[in-house]
Amino acid sequence: MITKTTQNTITQPVRAQRGLQIPSRFGCYEIIEHLGMGGMGDVYKGRHTEMERLVALKILPSALSSVEFRERFNSEALAISQLQHHNIVTIYDYGEIINRRYIAMQYIEGATLAEIIKKEKKLSYDRIINFSKQVCRGLKYAHEKNIIHRDVKAGNIMVNQKDSAILSDFGLAQIPGATRLTNTGMAMGTPEYMAPEQCEGKPIDGQCDIYGLGIVMYEMVTGSPPFTGDSPLAIAYKQVHESPPLISKIRDDIPPTFELIIAKCLKKKKAERYKNAIELLSDLDSVEIQTQHIQTNVSQFFHRDTPLVNKRITDRRNQDRRFQISPQSRNFYFIIIGVLVFLLAGLLFFQNLSSRNSASGVSSWMQPHKISIVNTSANSPSSESIQNAFDHSTQTAWTVQFSEYASRKLILKFNQITLISGVSFQLDPKTLASWPEGIHPVAKVTLINQGQKESSFFLMNQSLPQFFEIKTFMSKEVTFIISHIPTYKNSTNVEPSDISIKDIRFLGLPY
């Protein structure tokens, strides 16, 4: 139950702690220790003497007793009192003692997220995503009550001993029906976490909290916010005009999808940012199954001369045996494994296709505005109809005639700098009919991008879309080399030479 109290109890004599003079008692609260100091007052660990309950006691200093600070202090109490959620701090009591406003809140045994980041340096992605989702749930609840936090930052997120993340400090919250304390054109918040519209003093909504959470996620991954500076004005300028450094340049093990989520949270234009916490939470839920993405290992298909290593097994009589898979069984197992891998990949692809194409998805299919193709052996442009592979129509296809040239180089240009995190290929089953039965690769695709290490993957003789996650990179131009694999012959002992690609798509986000 939340109560408002007005008492005339005189604060008891003070005692020293870390050079500070703190009261030993405040009204019905025994002061145990000083926890910290914020923009809206000192915070103490206290105990309600009658209820024997530990509290975090926030007291407005007498030096901040102006009408504006008193109203803002009351607004914080009002905001928290309307929110009953396990990821938002709980208020027990608020009132005034000898002209000193106070709020008694839930005491959380733990540390702020900022302290955890500083201490641990590098958080695991499981914890990062867990914290992000918990804070997002708290924001979703607050926004449903039309309360905007306006100061989402690592220092305002408490983490208890069970790794529960709890959003606190609603001192700058925007509350419906409350007296407006911030004039239009006035910027309020912590510069390192403020959205561009906040920095410019424009009207704000829940999307500014989404931006702040994006900064927090960036900080959890890299160890620091994307924008720092010598003055608040310098930081605010960067928030409005500069793009954040690419996370994968700082920490290259970040899951590509998670990097795109953070990038979308930090879009300067609100129209390109997540519209609400529901959209963000939906994408965060998808990251858990994508942190370990599927990588098809097809090296077995290209090293048939390499003997399979004998494996030692032990039977129940503790007698060792030698076991070696026969060549016929080995090929059979490869076929079965290949079928299972591609069925699973196809299932995951279609499962996420609708969300990736939706406006609320973290990323979308990026369409290059200029496409050129070069025959590498002749080093000359090709007359093949490459546009058929980019028209998003499965009725047309680009036929690659490997009998004429060994490989093709695709040069794709986008209208603006783009974050690329994945690529999808879909082959035409008509040309696949000339290939021998079984699961095997038909082409090797090598991604070449300036300043990035080359990466390769293999297209298999499957008509389902084949999606490949790649290490996120940022560029206006993408280059692929598609090479033929002269390994297999069909039943007539003729080596297939052509493949047709119905669709090529890139998964990414304009930067």
The pLDDT of 73-87, averaged and rounded, is 78
Answer whether residue 133 shows pLDDT above 80: yes
Rounded to 5°, angle at Cα 478 from 244 and 371 = 130
Q: Cα separation of 386 and 399, whole Å? A: 8
pLDDT, greater one: 153 or 57: 153
Residue 148 and residue 8 share a domain: no
Number of domains observed in the structure of the chain: 3
Residue 96 and residue 193 share a domain: no
pLDDT, greater one: 382 or 49: 49
The answer for residues whose C-beta is within 8 angstroms of residue 355's C-beta and 6 or more apart is: 282, 283, 286, 361
Distance set, CA 478 to CA 181, 413, 420, 423, 510 (Å): 50, 6, 9, 11, 14
Answer whether residue 321 shows pLDDT above 60: no
Answer whether residue 499 shows pLDDT above 80: no
Residue 123 and residue 42 share a domain: no
Split at pLDDT 50, 70, 90, the class of 382 is: low
Split at pLDDT 50, 70, 90, the class of 62 is: low
Place of tokens 């959620």: 85
Mean pLDDT of the chain: 75
Q: What pLDDT is recorded for position 363?
A: 55
Q: Which residues are catalytic?
A: 151
The SS3 assignment for 423 reads strand
Q: At residue 470, what is the residue type?
A: I
The answer for residues whose C-beta is within 8 angstroms of residue 359's C-beta and 6 or more apart is: none
Residue 151 and residue 80 share a domain: no
Sign of the alpha-carbon torsion through 135, 157, 46, 170: negative
Residue 201 and residue 241 share a domain: yes
Beta carbons of 86 and 188 less than 8 angstroms apart: no
Q: What is the pTM of this model?
A: 0.64
Split at pLDDT 50, 70, 90, the class of 381 is: low
Distance set, CA 495 to CA 154, 484, 491, 499 (Å): 60, 11, 9, 12
Q: Final residue of a domain: which of 72, 88, 106?
A: 106
Q: Cα separation of 61 and 68, whole Å? A: 13
Answer whether residue 490 shows pLDDT above 70: no
Q: What pLDDT is recorded for position 293?
A: 41
Residue 118 and residue 94 share a domain: no
Residue 264 and residue 149 share a domain: yes
Residue 128 and residue 64 share a domain: no
Q: What pLDDT is recorded for position 206?
A: 94
Q: What pLDDT is recorded for position 330?
A: 54
Q: What pLDDT is recorded for position 68?
A: 64
Residue 116 and residue 97 share a domain: no
CATH code of the domain covering residue 434: 2.60.120.260
Answer whether residue 141 shows pLDDT above 90: yes
Q: At residue 390, what is the residue type?
A: F
Q: Cα separation of 76 and 338, whole Å? A: 58
Residue 120 and residue 246 share a domain: yes
Q: Which domain holds residue 41?
A: 3-106
Split at pLDDT 50, 70, 90, the class of 451 is: low
Answer whether residue 202 shows pLDDT above 60: yes
Beta carbons of 484 and 407 less than 8 angstroms apart: yes
